[in-house]
């Protein structure tokens, strides 16, 4: 493999591929050049943040992460700023989303679901003890590390206890509809702790059933089902699991089971071990205010290279599953939000082929350097499907192409990439001998 060329570097971090994308932020894989440690770098556009008055929410997210030092929470290492960007350096979690585990493998056995639920309740209890309420708990915000342990992420909607009004309640309706507690939807104020617990109950139901307890394509019907706690447990659940779910999904927050009561529950107690850990205090959050202002002395330097991002051995190992072409072409792999393939074609030819394949499928194509944004002109179930692609150089004559859902419905994305793969068969490198050669 040729010596890697860095496409972009911020301070001491070498930046690689995009691993996540939201309305106001992108998350990139990065590596600390001093320690070799992989990190996730959340990059926010300063102008957008200020324009949409998001600065206070982001400061709140940082303040929240500073308060929470728990082994089952994604750690925040430091925050940096340039003239145009804000960089939040986070722990890199390699095991994917809990959501993907459910989508690909279906419902879990009770013992497996209970282990994740133990970790979730421990985190929620810890956060509440520090006056922090997550307010957007769902499987997509629950990541897994390399050992299969839960890592709670995305405190962008979290609330600190100081935001509670004089009536002792929170008043912002937020979260994802299927997981939101009835009292949050009622707009009469709610207790952050009991609302988080309701979301935990929905997550437990999904783990054990493999589907949502409350679901309807009509939003008003969905709200009615949630408000009435109108759900049915599947017949394969044990009686004790059904009983606990019913006690958590109680539409009345005053009579809903509490965490101390859950810790004594018959189903929950099986195999439960209280968490033992030492809180680390090595987070560098100096000059948080300065990051949001134009203080040049606090700016971190950014370096760029207009070539396709070179991928070093460290990144390649972290993405090794992506070298299996079955990831793109095997229908048995389940529903994915991203996939990768390798090609011996030049980068410009790969871009041309993707563009040629996407336009007849109804996609508008936007190109920038060795990245592309494909937008479906026709709205789908969750708005317009947006697909991001990026080309990485593994060796002088070998590229890796990542195809990732940026916005829209996951099932529509899977349908799209199956159509795309048919058109790209002549650019995809797929001999087993060559794959073996790459690992030599």
What are the residue ranges of CATH 3.30.310.80 in the chain?
A: 319-424+433-437
**Hey, what are 89's tokens?**
């350096």
The beta strand positions in 147-289, using DSSP E, are: 150-152, 159-160
Longest dimension (CA), the chain: 68
Is residue 286 part of the annotated active site? The answer reads no
Cα 137 to Cα 120: distance, rounded to the nearest angstrom: 10
Cα 204 to Cα 122: distance, rounded to the nearest angstrom: 14
- Kindly write down the DSSP assignment for every residue of 150-169, as one continuous string: EEE---TT-EEGGG--TTS-
Q: Find out whether 246 and 240 touch, Cβ atoms under 8 Å.
A: no
- DSSP-assigned letter for residue 146: T
What are the residue ranges of CATH 1.10.510.10 in the chain?
A: 98-269
Residue 267: C-alpha distances to residues 102, 113, 114, 154 (Å): 21, 11, 8, 29
Number of neighbouring beta carbons within 10 Å of residue 249: 25
**Hey, what are 134's tokens?**
């997550």
CATH topology of domain 319-424+433-437: TATA-Binding Protein (3.30.310)
The active-site residue, picked from 100, 125, 136, 191, is: 136
Cα 43 to Cα 363: distance, rounded to the nearest angstrom: 26
Q: Is 42 annotated as a binding residue?
A: yes
Instruction: Estimate to the nearest angstrom the gap between the alpha carbon of 271 and the chain centroid.
Output: 29
Q: Per residue of the chain (440 residues), what is the pLDDT tens digit?
A: 333 444 578 888 998 888 777 666 788 889 998 888 999 888 888 887 777 777 776 776 676 666 777 888 888 888 888 888 888 888 888 887 888 888 788 899 999 999 999 999 998 998 888 777 777 787 777 888 888 899 987 654 333 333 333 433 333 333 467 888 888 777 666 667 888 899 999 999 999 999 999 988 888 888 899 989 999 999 999 999 999 999 999 999 999 999 999 999 999 999 998 887 776 655 555 556 666 665 555 566 666 555 566 555 545 544 544 334 334 333 334 455 777 878 888 888 888 889 888 888 889 888 877 888 898 888 777 778 889 888 887 777 788 888 888 888 777 888 888 888 888 877 776 534 444 444 44
Instruction: State whether residue 63 is helix, strand or coil.
Output: helix
Cα 104 to Cα 304: distance, rounded to the nearest angstrom: 38
Q: What is the structure's pLDDT at 422?
A: 81
Q: Find out whether 403 and 338 touch, Cβ atoms under 8 Å.
A: yes
Homologous superfamily (CATH) of 98-269 is Transferase(Phosphotransferase) domain 1 (1.10.510.10)
Q: Find out whether 30 and 13 touch, Cβ atoms under 8 Å.
A: yes
Q: Find out whether 285 and 2 touch, Cβ atoms under 8 Å.
A: no
Cα 206 to Cα 179: distance, rounded to the nearest angstrom: 10
């Amino acid at each position: 493999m040729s010596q890697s060329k860095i496409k972009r570097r911020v301070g001491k971090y070498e930046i690689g591929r995009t691993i996540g994308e939201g309305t106001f932020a992108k998350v990139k894989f990065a590596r600390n050049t001093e320690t070799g440690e992989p990190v996730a770098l959340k990059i926010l556009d300063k102008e957008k943040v200020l324009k949409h008055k998001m600065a206070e929410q982001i400061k709140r997210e940082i303040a929240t992460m500073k308060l929470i030092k728990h082994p089952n929470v994604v750690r925040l290492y430091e925050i940096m700023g340039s003239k145009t960007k804000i960089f939040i350096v986070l722990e890199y979690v390699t095991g994917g989303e809990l959501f993907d585990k459910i989508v690909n493998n279906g419902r879990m056995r009770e013992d497996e679901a209970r282990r994740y639920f133990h970790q979730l309740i421990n985190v929620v209890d810890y956060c509440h003890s520090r006056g922090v309420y997550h307010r957007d708990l769902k499987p997509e915000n629950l990541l897994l590390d390399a050992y299969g342990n839960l890592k709670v992420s995305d405190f962008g909607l979290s609330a600190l206890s100081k935001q509670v009004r004089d009536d002792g309640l929170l008043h912002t309706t937020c979260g994802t509809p299927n997981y939101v507690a009835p009292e949050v939807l009622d707009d009469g104020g709610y207790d952050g702790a009991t609302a988080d617990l309701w979301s935990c109950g929905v997550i437990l139901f999904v783990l054990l059933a493999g589907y949502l307890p409350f679901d309807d394509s009509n939003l008003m019907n969905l709200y009615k089902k949630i408000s009435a706690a109108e759900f049915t447990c599947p017949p394969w659940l044990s009686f004790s699991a059904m009983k606990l779910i019913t006690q958590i999904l109680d539409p009345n927050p005053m009579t809903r089971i509490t965490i101390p009561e859950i810790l004594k529950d018959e189903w929950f107690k099986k195999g439960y071990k209280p968490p033992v850990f030492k809180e680390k205090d090595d987070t560098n959050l100096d000059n948080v205010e300065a990051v949001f202002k134009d203080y040049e002395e606090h700016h971190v330097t950014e370096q760029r290279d207009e070539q396709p991002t070179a991928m070093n051995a460290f990144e390649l190992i972290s993405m090794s599953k992506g070298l299996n072409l079955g990831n793109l072409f095997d229908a048995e792999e389940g529903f994915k939000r991203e996939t990768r393939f390798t090609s011996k074609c030049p980068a410009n030819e790969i871009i041309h082929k993707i563009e040629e394949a996407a336009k007849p499928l109804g996609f508008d194509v936007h190109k920038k350097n060795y990245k592309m944004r494909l937008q479906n002109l026709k709205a789908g179930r969750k708005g317009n499907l947006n697909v991001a692609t990026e080309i990485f150089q593994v060796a002088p004559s070998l590229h890796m192409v990542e195809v990732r859902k940026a916005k829209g419905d996951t099932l529509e994305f899977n349908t799209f990439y199956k159509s795309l793969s048919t058109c790209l068969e002549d650019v995809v490198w797929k001999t087993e001998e060559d794959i073996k050669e790459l690992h030599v």
